[in-house]
Amino acid sequence: MSTLNPTIDHADHADHGGHGHDHAHAHKQSFISQYVFSTDHKMIGKQFLITTLFMMMVGGALALAVRWQLARPWERMPIFGDMVFGADGGQISPDAYTMLFTMHATVMIFLVIIPVLAGAFGNFLIPLQIGADDMAFPTLNMLSYWFMWPAIFLFGASFFMYGGGPAAGWTSYPLLSLLREAAPGSGDAQTLWLLGLTFVGVSSMMGSVNYMTTIINMRAPGMTLFRMPLTIWSMFITAILQAFALPVLTAAGFMMVSDRMLGTCFFVPSGIVVNNAAPTVGGGQTLLWQHLFWFYSHPAVYIMLLPAMGMVSDMLACMCRKPVFGYKPMVYSMAAIAGLGFIVWGHHMFISGMNPALGMTFMVSTIMIALPSAIKTFNWIGTIWGGRVQFNSVMLYCIAFVSMFIIGGLSGIFMAAVPVDIYIHDTYFIVAHFHYVIFGATLFGVFGAIQFWFPKMYGRMMNETVGKIHFVLTFIGFNCTFYPMHMLGIAGMPRRYADPYHFPYLEHLLPLNQFMTASAFLMGMAQFLLLGNFFYSMYFGPKCGRNPWGANGLEWTAPSPPGHGNFDVLPVVYHGPYEYGSPVSGDKDFLMQTEYVPLAQRVAAEEHH
């Protein structure tokens, strides 16, 4: 396949896996091969993006139902409750509540955050930013999108199993998730959930293999590793993380499926009697699941964060019109996060009953992982420092990313400290922390990235005013929803309680919870602005040229939107990606990576300074 050998002359005999198209030349494709089973990385990226945006609304609706119960416990939920829980008088029953938060987390993590970063933006940006005409394995890429659908179907179908959807939390700790008698949702629903998880894993793995191969093999001439945009570095590191961590989760999932269906006992100790069922035969360890699960799911936290860090670095440099501060420290700190990310999983298990000595080592490694995050934050501030800040919606989302990441990072130190974690473990403090990181940081980064790369995706700009309104409403709604959760946690309110007010010491938290629920509804409604803006701009937004932001990356040398094969002229790279405001750039304040500056001019500029 010629795409594996990016040579100057390969444009002349390009042969995409036997299709025989020419680069960026208009060619007729059938509707199916263009929009459905497309092998074009840009179309696959858009498919991922739109799918995840819709899944975000689904996950959001589930979250709002959870919030409803916390604000108005046991009351009839209008509309949604009448439709879904009509048999219970529109009321959320306690087992429905456990199902709601389980599926909220499942949808948001596995069908929104992970695929929107790696699937949507990874797919769309990797070939464009490294100057390749497509991914290394276009068919594998197509499959990675279409393997999402069995997962969506299985997760969806699990709601309709006898007993309702899976209700053991997204962490699915055995034995609650393992023994059918343990919970109404631990019947077939849990099996479907596990299979769905496997499909998501397969999809991610296909993406990850593809990204690594593409980034290693298909960079344009001159695109050395240290000339790659930080987005590409972050996608590369994420792909490596995924490739090494995911098999463990897949294996654990199969072990649990086999415990459930074949009668093995990997996770089942002997003599356990659940709901008066026969005692288990056993011989296994429930803690094994926690170790295997978090061995994947802690690196997964960085899989859910690193790509957003990379994209925000790109956007910040562009919107501040100056280079990223400390490019190499940024790369090294991402690598450090990824490396340390493999030895911190035990901090989810401080009070789980594992050997307490492990708590000490995991605490030290966990607290030290704050270091690369701190370095990145300082470098982002350094990037903004002395720049010409463009206060458009992209920049606002990026500022939100940085400042919410500061809060989310700092609150993490509390729970990394084992003694403090004894108290705040499994309280709302934890819920506050990870929403600040996953929503406050990652999702704001994604909103910014949508606004920033939309022109390249569709050749039109998104509406700036609507973008700003969406930002303000989401930002206010977000902070009013999640900041008080720290207070709930300190007050000792445990997670996953259908009715915390059942306990006298938590009764006084009801008004605060009602305020948070109102804020959450505001935030939820604001997302319709994003969807409206997205789909309206797709057809009616003002058209834009190749480089509407005056950015440096290779993607901005391609037409907007790029044709099949991406580049009409094969890019050759002469600089790093962040030469904004460079003295050699002449009368403009950016220097595209493909722009050659003759030596004499560079020397002159050097002497001039």
Partner 1 sequence: MHWWFPGDGNAYSTLGGKIDDLFYLILVIVSVTFVGTSAALGYALWRGASIKSDEKVWFSHGSHSLEVIWTIVPSAVLLFIALYQLDVWAEYRMKGFAKEKDGSPKVITVVAEVTARQFEWRIRYPANGKPLKPTPQPDDIYSVNELHVPTGGLVSITLRTDDVQHAFFVPMLRVKQDAVPGKMIPVWFDATMPGKYEMLCAELCGWGHYKMKAMLVAQSADDFEAWKDKASAEQFDDGYRKPAE
Size of the site for partner 1 (CB under 8 A): 111
Give yes or no for a cis peptide into 512 (omega within 30° of 0). Answer: no
Give kind and range of the element (H or E) at residue 519.
helix 510-540
Smaller CB distance to partner 1: residue 169 or 561? 169
Minimal distance, residue 341 CB to partner 1, in Å:
16
Are 412 and 351 contacting, i.e. CB atoms less than 8 angstroms apart? no
Smaller CB distance to partner 1: residue 216 or 358? 358
Binding to partner 1, residues 546-605 (CB under 8 A): 578, 580-583, 589
- Which one of residues 159, 342, 378, 574 is an interface residue with partner 1 (CB under 8 A)? 378
What are residue 543's DSSP bridge partners?
460
The two structure tokens encoding residue 239: 């792909």
Minimal distance, residue 263 CB to partner 1, in Å:
17
Q: Where are the alpha helices (DSSP H) in 262-392?
A: 286-303, 306-320, 327-341, 356-368, 370-384
Ramachandran region, residue 157 (left: φ > 0; alpha: ψ -120 to 50; beta: rest): alpha
For residue 229, the SS3 value is coil
Q: Judged by CB under 8 A, does residue 310 bind partner 1? A: no
Minimal distance, residue 423 CB to partner 1, in Å:
4
Closest CA to 98 of 44, 206, 4, 176: 176
Smaller CB distance to partner 1: residue 17 or 163? 163
Closest CA to 39 of 133, 152, 159, 153: 133
Binding to partner 1, residues 328-347 (CB under 8 A): 328-329
Smaller CB distance to partner 1: residue 20 or 283? 283
The two structure tokens encoding residue 583: 């003295």
Smaller CB distance to partner 1: residue 303 or 384? 384
- C-alpha distances (whole Å) from 141 to each of 43, 86, 138, 165, 446 are 11, 42, 5, 30, 21
- C-alpha distances (whole Å) from 499 to each of 75, 437, 504, 506 are 11, 26, 11, 10
Radius of gyration over alpha carbons of the chain, in Å?
25
Are 330 and 324 contacting, i.e. CB atoms less than 8 angstroms apart? yes
Minimal distance, residue 191 CB to partner 1, in Å:
17
Of the ranges 27-35, 231-239, 502-510, 542-550, which one interacts with partner 1 (CB under 8 A)? Answer: 502-510
Helices and strands, counts by H and E, the chain? 22, 0
Binding to partner 1, residues 170-229 (CB under 8 A): 173-176, 179, 182-184
Q: Judged by CB under 8 A, does residue 448 bind partner 1? A: no
Say how many C-beta atoms besides its own lie within 10 A of residue 423's C-beta. Answer: 14
Binding to partner 1, residues 503-532 (CB under 8 A): 503-506, 508-509, 511-512
- C-alpha distances (whole Å) from 1 to each of 13, 144, 571 are 11, 20, 20
Minimal distance, residue 153 CB to partner 1, in Å:
26
- Which one of residues 35, 499, 542, 603 is an interface residue with partner 1 (CB under 8 A)? 499
Binding to partner 1, residues 135-174 (CB under 8 A): 167-169, 173-174
Are 75 and 15 contacting, i.e. CB atoms less than 8 angstroms apart? no
Smaller CB distance to partner 1: residue 150 or 382? 382
Give yes or no for a cis peptide into 561 (omega within 30° of 0). Answer: yes
- Which one of residues 90, 269, 339, 559 is an interface residue with partner 1 (CB under 8 A)? 269
Smaller CB distance to partner 1: residue 6 or 484? 484
d(CA 67, CA 521): 9
Minimal distance, residue 476 CB to partner 1, in Å:
17
Minimal distance, residue 372 CB to partner 1, in Å:
9
Closest CA to 349 of 285, 426, 272: 426
Smaller CB distance to partner 1: residue 97 or 295? 97
Of the ranges 94-102, 142-150, 198-206, 438-446, which one interacts with partner 1 (CB under 8 A)? Answer: 94-102
Q: Is the dihedral of CA 396, 119, 554, 22 positive or negative?
A: negative
Binding to partner 1, residues 392-431 (CB under 8 A): 399, 402-403, 406-407, 410-411, 413-414, 416-420, 422-423, 425-427
Minimal distance, residue 264 CB to partner 1, in Å:
16
Binding to partner 1, residues 355-374 (CB under 8 A): 356-357, 359-360, 363-364, 367-368, 370-371, 374
Smaller CB distance to partner 1: residue 205 or 493? 493
Q: Judged by CB under 8 A, does residue 273 bind partner 1? A: yes
Binding to partner 1, residues 474-493 (CB under 8 A): 484, 487-488, 490-492
Q: Rounded to the nearest 10 degrees, how much is the dihedral formed by the CA atoms of 49, 217, 339, 198?
A: 50
Smaller CB distance to partner 1: residue 125 or 406? 406
Give kind and range of the element (H or E) at residue 548.
none
Q: Is the dihedral of CA 80, 47, 316, 214 positive or negative?
A: positive
- Which one of residues 50, 57, 287, 466 is an interface residue with partner 1 (CB under 8 A)? 287
Smaller CB distance to partner 1: residue 42 or 486? 486
Smaller CB distance to partner 1: residue 470 or 486? 486
d(CA 284, CA 263): 12
Smaller CB distance to partner 1: residue 504 or 598? 504
Smaller CB distance to partner 1: residue 176 or 554? 176
- Which one of residues 401, 497, 549, 567 is an interface residue with partner 1 (CB under 8 A)? 497
User: Binding pattern to partner 1, positions 37-76, x when CB under 8 A?
Assistant: ----------------------------------------
